[in-house]
Amino acid sequence: MRAWRAFIALLEFATSMSVCPVCMSARTRLRWRGLRDRLFATTEERFDVAHCRDCGAHFLDPMPAFAKLAAYYPDDYWVGPSDRNPQRAAQGGLLERYRMFVLRDHVAFVRHVLAAQRQRNQLVKVLDVGCGDGSFLEALGERGCTGMDLSVPALRAVRARGIQAVRGMLTDCPLAAGQFSLVTAYHFLEHVHPIEPVLYAMRKLLAPGGEIVVQVPNCDSWQAKLLGRFWAGYDVPRHQVDYSARTFCQTLERCGFEIVKTNHHCLRDNPTTVANSLVPWLYPPTRMSRKGGARGLGAVLANLAYLGVTLASMPFCFVESLFSHGASVMVHARPRTEKP
């Protein structure tokens, strides 16, 4: 028995990876080897995912070079039909209506924050970072919103909605500091490393009394534990770091924010993460990125099948969220005021 334990300890030591990028612990280990891009198949490369024993974060190890990251994002990554491409009218219109319906959680959460700001007589101005096609900002319906993204097709789609769009990164921001009452970032922060300069830049953009609403996948969710390496929330190779809800909140606090509220329920993301784990080839943006994938009877049947899997997963997602182990965590935070 002692020999076996010694062997296991030696094996764990041999598979220990680099320092955790979240908590800087050296107690890391290789979790999975040779993962591929299951969702978009942008590359034939294989990737390893490591796990931190102390904070629970998962991360690519080694992390891809920054110059390679753009190749892992197809042109249609999270871009819907608002560019009015007639070849996508049928499937794109259905996707648009579905997105507007399931965005109700995001919209309600943010409107509550904005209502409190208006009660304080604060000028409301919203920036959405990593805005994709701008569907959230259109659903929110606030005047003077701005979307920021690096994707040219995404920004074209945002502008087609009549929303101001800016191309850039937070760490090299083209926007003036101190002008937004709210900065949002949905499923964006897991794509960047290191996260600290991004959060500091986000804080710099806030006007006095400004706040942030951010959301990331929760690698401590029940579905992540059940699905393991097949959980779509890891989205290899696009996600650099995946956080547990606890670790993400601790990261925000370490970067000078105080947590106001968290929410694990998300109608848009939690059920679709299950569906993307089980049937990634049916994910509508994946099919729309393929030639011919957006038209014909096959597309209609694929949409119905994907919708069926998504609907079937909703009861489970509701229960895991009820116990604060949902597949994503949405956090409302504000810059911490230093006590004198």
At 78, the pLDDT band (50, 70, 90 cuts) reads low
Taking residues 147-154, report their average pLDDT.
91
Place of tokens 């994907």: 306
Q: Are 81 and 93 in contact (CB under 8 A)?
A: yes
Sign of the CA dihedral running 208, 243, 185, 165: positive
Residue 77 confidence (pLDDT) above 80:
no
* pTM listed for this prediction: 0.89
Measure the CA–CA gap between 156 and 231, rounded to whole angstroms: 31
Question: Domain limits of the chain?
Answer: 73-335
Query: How close are the terminal C-alpha atoms of the chain, in Å?
Result: 57
Question: Confidence band (pLDDT; 50, 70, 90) for 339?
Answer: low
CATH of the domain spanning 73-335, picked from 3.30.10.20, 3.30.70.360, 3.40.830.10, 3.40.50.150: 3.40.50.150
- Token look-up 């794109």 returns 92
Asked whether the predicted pLDDT for residue 306 surpasses 70, the reply is yes
Task: For 233-259, give the secondary structure using H, E and C.
Answer: HHCCCCCCEEECHHHHHHHHHHCCEEE
Residue range 32-52: average pLDDT? 96
